[in-house]
Amino acid sequence: MKTLIVALVCLAGCDGILPAPDFEQMIDQHKLKAFAATSYFSDGRAMRPPADGTIARDVRLGPPELVRGKTAAGAYVEHIPIPLDRAAIEHGRHDFETYCGVCHGLTGDGSSVVARHMELRRPPSLVSGKVVAFPVGRVFTVTEEGYGLMPSYRHQLTAQRRWQIVAYLGALQLSQHAQLAALPSPVRTDAERALATKATP
């Protein structure tokens, strides 16, 4: 405590001896700005290239099929590269209805309150038209990179969760275009019975 008091007394007595703080130096700092030219570096650029092997912090690491939806050669993958079960599809449904259904509608048909107010470009149907023919990798890439007015969701959702959305979308598409003959026997029997009941007045 005594040391602190002595220090304060000494500082108080230094008025006029120490130079006044120069706040202008903080405002007008001597530094190189982005994209500026400089003779300090041999290439004349102020901005320095990243060190070899540097990876941006938002880059997803892993096999390209899993994290980009494309093969190493750049082709869209045709099959979902994660294990799928009923729980995974349910997770995909939850995320689809949270993130995608707002614009594309809960059934993926492009009909929603938000879509009705998007006059510039309405969200397309995901269960009809050319989207149905897209390889799963292309659909995943849209969630990774965004498309048109749609933003990327790579910061909100992991690759795993976005693949689950793609899987659920496949189920939605199948529900809209399922052929009766393609259904498993017990399911087909139930469906035929339901259709017959519906057709009966």
Which pLDDT belongs to residue 60?
A: 74
Highest mean pLDDT among 30-39, 110-119, 131-140: 131-140
DSSP string of 148-196, one letter each residue = TTBPP-TTTS-HHHHHHHHHHHHHHHHHHH--GGGS-HHHHHHHHHHHH
Mean pLDDT of all residues in 11-36? 72
Q: How many Cα neighbours within 13 Å face the side chain of 80?
A: 22
Residue 169 token pair: 């979308």
Q: Rounded to a whole number, what is the distance in angstroms from the first to the last CA of the chain?
A: 97
Give the Å distances, CA to CA, from 180 to 11, 156, 174, 187, 190.
91, 38, 11, 9, 11
Which pLDDT belongs to residue 2?
A: 62
143: nearest Cα among 180, 99, 174: 99
Which pLDDT belongs to residue 31?
A: 82
- How far is 141 from 110, CA to CA, in rounded Å? 19
- Give 67-79 pLDDT, tens digit per residue: 999 999 999 999 9
Q: What is the rounded average pLDDT for all residues in the chain?
A: 86
Which pLDDT belongs to residue 42?
A: 92
Which pLDDT belongs to residue 135?
A: 96
Which pLDDT belongs to residue 15?
A: 57
- Give 92-115 pLDDT, tens digit per residue: 999 999 999 999 999 999 989 988
